[in-house]
Each structure stands twice: as C-alpha cells, then as structure tokens.
Copies of this chain bind each other. A is one copy, B any other.
Amino acid sequence: MIIKINQRSEIPLYLQLRNQIVTGIGKGALKPGESLPTVRQLATDLGINSMTVSKAYQLLKAEGFLETDRRRGSVVSLPDANRPGAAAAFEEKLTDELELLTAEAKVHGMTLQDFLSFCTNAFLEMEVVS
C-alpha cells in the first residue's frame, strides 16, 4: 500500500499517516493480521522523523487498529465493534462532522440528492480494492 505524506499540508504528519492507514484498512488494502513496517523503516521510507511515525502507531493502537505482536511487530487489527462506547463515540463524531459538511453543502447550493451521491460514491470507492 502506498502512503504519501504532504509536508505542506496543514494536517499534522502523524495524522496524515494515521488517516491513510485507517483508509487503507477501510478499503481492504490492509487486511487484519497483516504486518506493518517497523517505525524506523517507515520513517526512512517517508523521509520523516521516527517520532512522528511512532506517534501515529501509538494512536492507531489506542484506537484498536493496531496491535503489537512480539514476533511480527505491528499488526493490523479490527477494533472490537462491540466494545462499549465505540459505536456511540463514532456516531457522535460522525454526526458532528456531517452537521458542518451538510451546512456547507447547502450553502454551496447542493441538494440532498447531490450530497447523497457524493456519500455513496465515497462509500463504494472503498469496495474497489477489497
């Protein structure tokens, strides 16, 4: 899976990394059980500081997307969907972000159909790889 870091983005590097790995899992480009490069390896590959990669990995572990296997290093994992609060927390975040996005969409003249079409496309885009 290809990861691209944009040094000029306003989004912190560690977040860009985290987001792309999560997207990779969503798309199926990264399967549960698969190993990720070591912190140092990925850091040199991307030309960024190891601390930055480490921070991204830490975050992914806290979110349940990554586990540390003594022999195989960092391994992709699916967060337990049933773990208490996980679904609720995500739904709240989703609702918040959608509130702003839909408001902006309306202001830009989009209809519900327009908006749902974007949402559907984005969701199905995920299937292409998996």
Q: Among residues 69 to 114 in chain A, which have CB atoms less than 8 Å away from a CB atom of chain B?
A: 69-71, 75, 78-79, 81, 83-88, 90-91, 94-95, 97-109, 112
* Chain A, interface SS category: helix
- Once the chains bind, are B62 and A62 in contact (CB under 8 Å)? yes
Chain B contacts for A106, CB-based, 8 A = 26, 123, 126
Q: When the two chains form their complex, are residues B101 and A97 in contact, meaning their CB atoms are under 8 A apart?
A: yes
Verify B87–A85 contact, CB threshold 8 A: no
Which residues of B sit under 8 angstroms from A7, Cβ to Cβ? 69-71
Q: Is A31 an interface residue (CB 8 A)?
A: no
Sample 9 A-B pairs with CB under 8 A, ordered by A number: A8-B67, A8-B70, A23-B100, A90-B104, A94-B118, A102-B126, A106-B126, A115-B119, A116-B119
